[in-house]
Amino acid sequence: MNYLSTRNKDMRMSAAQAIAKGLSPDGGLLTPAVLPRLPSSAVETMKEMSYQQRVVYIMNSFLEGFAASELTAYAAEAYGGGKFSHEDIAPVRRLDDNTYCLELWHGPTCAFKDMALQLLPHLLTASLEKNDEKKTVCILVATSGDTGKAALEGFRNVDKTRILVFYPKDGVSDIQERQMVTQEGGNVGVCSVVGNFDDAQAGVKQIFSDEELAEVLAERGYFLSSANSINWGRVLPQIVYYASAYCDLLKSEAITKGQAVNVCVPTGNFGNILAAYYAKAMGIPINRLICASNQNNVLTDFISTGTYDRNRTFFNTISPSMDILISSNLERMLFELSGRDDKLVREYMSQLAEYGSYRVDSSIRTKLKKEFSAGYCDDQQTKAMIAKMWNEQNYLIDPHTAVAFHVLEEYRAETGDDMATITVSTASPFKFCDSVLDALGVKEKKTGLEILDQLTQVTGVPTPAPLARLKKRQRRFEGSVDKDAMKRCVLDFLK
């Protein structure tokens, strides 16, 4: 199967090229030339499979040039070998007869980024080999928290890869910092940057556009790449868990054959909910896609008005992984909803770059409304939902997940739609102890790693093993650099 650019359908490449490149040279996102339809027996077939087998079943139809035996090996490396603390990998928890929670945080870093970043390194190295690339790839990441750690874990000790992560000195939580500076593996590097996330990101962008540096690195046998959420190799593994969750509901007889479900997804870059759309397009019976945002509600406005406008105040919220004003993966959605009109997508994206806004035409607005519902909540409401879930259901959830449950509750009250709904849970509450304890009314909070024990004492819920283990881990990476010294770090790292 070929891949094309959302900004130019004539730009064609293979699956291996799409994954290796990440982004089309014209700035567009690489997307399958046709979306495969699952056979009508697919759900029945997948129902009896393990998660790893479902990975192979779904991904096979997107990855021409990859043998099923290869995919089986990658799925085993990514999700097997005890890397996930739950045998179902992405278990579905029942809350009541029509409310289910898909837990995507049983991986090594306790956030949903693991679902894709455990698999991507294998897809990427295989792609490079298929493309006859001789140089070693070095992944550069600027992170505001979750992505950096998940990428480090994913690429740790993967042959023919290196990974260097920059994080803002004062922009990550104690736990997130400890997760990164104690990272194990022979091919990894971690460096903190004086400043905020934008400084770190600007520094990485500058390094990527430095041609002189690229030449020096090429002589040393390296080239730079990123593990962005717009890479097809990150979107694809996310389609699997929607199909998997549907099969699990059917298997447990929570739903009957062919019965449709809604999904409710806490959304930032639009990658996770886009995967749900693709699962639906392939034939999984999904009804409404409910898009949940925090106070940075650019997507809520877009879905209700058809105007995307990033010219607005940016809020730092307690669901920081959704603090985003440009949702990059939305471009793929526009491509589908416009009937794959590459010229129109190009036009909207150039308006976004120039004015920070665009308005989609009435046909796209109609389709958006047909597929999506949207809502948002503020930090107060997020905390209230954490408390409510704990008090009424004895279920401890993180702030991102709470945003989704709040939006679902509002959606149901407004529409009366009581269809079975899968709400997506994207992080362990232990990654955000501070806000969760706040929500539970705890006034005096511990600092550092002790806050993990405190949350356990207050709730009786055990700390996930990968976080509990941090106490025993040595700090391997110390010190921080100015933004201007980031290039030096890269040169030292790739000696």
Total chain residues near ligand PLP (CB under 6 A) = 17
Nearby residues of 401 by Cβ (< 8 Å), 6 or more positions away: 101, 266, 423, 424, 425, 426, 427
Query: Which one of the spans 66-74, 107-115, 244-252, 462-470 is the region binding ligand PLP (CB under 6 A)?
Result: 107-115
121 binds ligand PLP (CB under 6 A): no
Task: Single out the residue of 111, 344, 489, 490 in contact with ligand PLP (rule: CB under 6 A).
Answer: 111
Cα 348 to chain centroid distance, Å, stands at 24
H or E element in which residue 121 lies: helix 120-130
Query: Which one of the spans 77-85, 109-117, 252-260, 351-359 is the region binding ligand PLP (CB under 6 A)?
Result: 109-117
Q: How far is the CB of 116 from ligand PLP (least distance, A)?
A: 9
Q: Provide the CB-side half-sphere exposure for 239 (13 A, CA).
A: 25
Q: How far is the CB of 268 from ligand PLP (least distance, A)?
A: 3
Q: How far is the CB of 17 from ligand PLP (least distance, A)?
A: 23
- x/- mask, ligand PLP, residues 156-195, rule CB under 6 A, reads ----------------------------------------
Q: Which two tokens stand for residue 381?
A: 């409401």
Binding to ligand PLP, residues 245-264 (CB under 6 A): none
Binding to ligand PLP, residues 388-407 (CB under 6 A): 400
Would you say 103 or 146 has its CB closer to ligand PLP?
146
Compute the distance between CA of residue 404 and CA of residue 425 in angstroms, rounded to an integer: 8
**Closest to 127 in 3D by CA, of 62, 220, 82, 196:** 62
Would you say 71 or 111 has its CB closer to ligand PLP?
111
Would you say 136 or 293 has its CB closer to ligand PLP?
293
Would you say 187 or 327 has its CB closer to ligand PLP?
327
H or E element in which residue 376 lies: strand 372-376
Would you say 46 or 299 has its CB closer to ligand PLP?
299
Task: Single out the residue of 89, 119, 121, 146 in contact with ligand PLP (rule: CB under 6 A).
Answer: 146
321 binds ligand PLP (CB under 6 A): yes
483 binds ligand PLP (CB under 6 A): no
118 binds ligand PLP (CB under 6 A): no
Q: How far is the CB of 77 from ligand PLP (least distance, A)?
A: 22
Task: Single out the residue of 426, 433, 451, 483 in contact with ligand PLP (rule: CB under 6 A).
Answer: 426
Would you say 242 or 493 has its CB closer to ligand PLP?
242
Compute the distance between CA of residue 184 and CA of residue 186 in angstroms, rounded to an integer: 7
Catalytic residue among 9, 21, 47, 113: 113
Q: CA–CA distance from 455 to each of 51, 64, 279, 405 (Å)?
A: 31, 47, 36, 21
Per-residue DSSP letter, 392: I
Q: Looking at the chain, how many residues does it have?
A: 495
Q: At residue 325, what is the residue type?
A: L
Q: Taking the C-alpha atoms of 251, 256, 260 and 266 in order, what is their torsion angle to the nearest 10 degrees?
A: -30
User: Is 113 known to be catalytic?
Assistant: yes
148 binds ligand PLP (CB under 6 A): no
Q: How far is the CB of 445 from ligand PLP (least distance, A)?
A: 20
Per-residue DSSP letter, 417: -
- x/- mask, ligand PLP, residues 266-305, rule CB under 6 A, reads xxxxxxx---------------------------------
Q: At residue 416, what is the residue type?
A: G
Decide: 43 and 246 in contact? Cβ < 8 Å: yes
DSSP per residue over 452-494, as a string?
A: HHHHHHHH-PPPPHHHHGGGGPPP----EE-GGGHHHHHHHHT
| Sign of CA pseudo-dihedral 431, 432, 433, 434 | positive
Would you say 341 or 398 has its CB closer to ligand PLP?
398
Q: Write out the residues near ligand PLP by the rule CB under 6 A.
A: 111-113, 146, 229, 266-272, 321-322, 400, 426-427
Residues known to be catalytic: 113
